[in-house]
Amino acid sequence: MERIAVFPGSFDPITLGHYDIVERAVPLFDQIIVAIGQNAQKNYMFSLEQRKKWLEDSFKPFPNVRVDIYEGLTVDYCKKMGANFILRGLRNPADFEFEKAIAHTNRAITKKDIETVFLLTSSGKSYISSSIVRDVLRNGGNYEILVPKEVRI
């Protein structure tokens, strides 16, 4: 059975933390789908097209990584794509508690067909989040140290 993982997120924008998780997960899975979830209630700083391009450019070196867009429940998207894993990154204990609740819910509603795999973000990147990057950008700071080189604004 092919090991397909979905790495869901808004990636507004992609950070070095996101990149770190995918880069380290590449040898673990046959295919990783970096999936941009669309949420009509959320106001994004960057367009869907821009976020998708940054992801595609960032992960170009990895032949088993592809980028896609989806709406609705992540588990429904996983079933549609034939994925049996959800990949999530953890930066801190608060992330763990939040992600644990989602993972338990996902297992319950999929009858344990989809497993969540957690990777700890490398220590030098654990402080980075998309919201921090957006705040640095809004205030004219040096965001380039927080994002892959492909993300230039």
Query: Is 143 flagged in the annotation as binding?
Result: no
Set 58, 104, 122, 130: catalytic member: 130
Determine whether 47 is an active site residue. Answer: no
Helix (H) or strand (E) holding 131: helix 130-138
Name the nearest CA neighbour of 20 among 126, 95, 103, 100.
Answer: 126
Determine whether 42 is an active site residue. Answer: yes
Q: How far apart are CA 135 and CA 114, in angstroms?
A: 34
Query: Is 89 flagged in the annotation as binding?
Result: yes
Q: Which two tokens stand for residue 61?
A: 């070196």
Query: Is 146 flagged in the annotation as binding?
Result: no
Query: Is 18 flagged in the annotation as binding?
Result: yes
Query: Is 104 flagged in the annotation as binding?
Result: no
Determine whether 138 is an active site residue. Answer: no
Query: Is 128 flagged in the annotation as binding?
Result: yes
Determine whether 152 is an active site residue. Answer: no
Q: How far apart are CA 49 and CA 146, in angstroms?
A: 21
Set 42, 111, 112, 123: catalytic member: 42
Phi then psi for residue 76, to 5 deg, are -65, -40
Name the nearest CA neighbour of 81 among 119, 32, 39.
Answer: 32
Query: Is 47 flagged in the annotation as binding?
Result: no
Query: Is 99 flagged in the annotation as binding?
Result: yes
Annotated binding site: 10-11, 18, 42, 74, 88-91, 99, 125-131
Annotated binding site for ATP: 10-11, 18, 89-91, 99, 125-131
Annotated binding site for substrate: 10, 42, 74, 88
Active site residues per annotation? 18, 42, 91, 130
